[in-house]
Amino acid sequence: MRLLILFLLISCVLSKKSSDKDKPDWAKKDIRDYSDADLERLLEQWDEDDEPIPSDELPDGHPKKPAPRLDLTNLDLSSPDELMKASKRGKTVMMFVRIYGVSGKEEADQLSSVWQVGLQNNHIQAERFSIEEDRVMFMFREGSQAWEAKDYIIELEQCEDVMLEQQTYLGKYCQQCSKEDKEREAKKNKEKDKKKKKDKKGEKAKKKPKTEL
Q: Quick one: three-class SS letters along 154-190?
A: CCCCCEEEEEECCEEEECCCCCCCCHHHHHHHHHHHH
CA triple 86-87-90, angle to 5 deg: 90
Per-residue model confidence as pLDDT tens digits over 10-61? 555 444 444 555 566 656 666 566 666 766 676 676 666 556 667 666 666 5
- pLDDT of residue 8 exceeding 60, the answer is no
Comparison of pLDDT for 181 and 165, the residue scoring more = 165
Comparison of pLDDT for 162 and 42, the residue scoring more = 162
Torsion of CA 183, 136, 167, 126, to 10 degrees: -110
Q: What is the DSSP letter of 135?
A: E
CB 195 within 8 A of CB 80: no
How much is the pLDDT for 16? 47
- pLDDT of residue 104 exceeding 50, the answer is yes
How much is the pLDDT for 83? 83
Ranges 8-17, 117-126, 165-174: which has the least confidence: 8-17
Ranges 1-5, 124-128, 133-137: which has the least confidence: 1-5
Which residues are CB-contacts of 206 (< 8 A; sequence separation ≥ 6)? none
How much is the pLDDT for 130? 92
Average pLDDT of the chain to the nearest whole number? 76
Listed by start position, the domains of the chain span 80-170
Q: For the domain 80-170, what is the CATH superfamily, name and number?
A: ACT domain (3.30.70.260)
How much is the pLDDT for 87? 83
Comparison of pLDDT for 196 and 19, the residue scoring more = 196
How much is the pLDDT for 49? 55
Chain Cα centroid distance, residue 94: 6
Nearest-angstrom CA–CA distance, 70 and 92: 16
How much is the pLDDT for 18? 43
Q: What is the mean pLDDT of residues 129-158?
A: 94
How much is the pLDDT for 154? 95
How much is the pLDDT for 180? 75
How much is the pLDDT for 3? 47
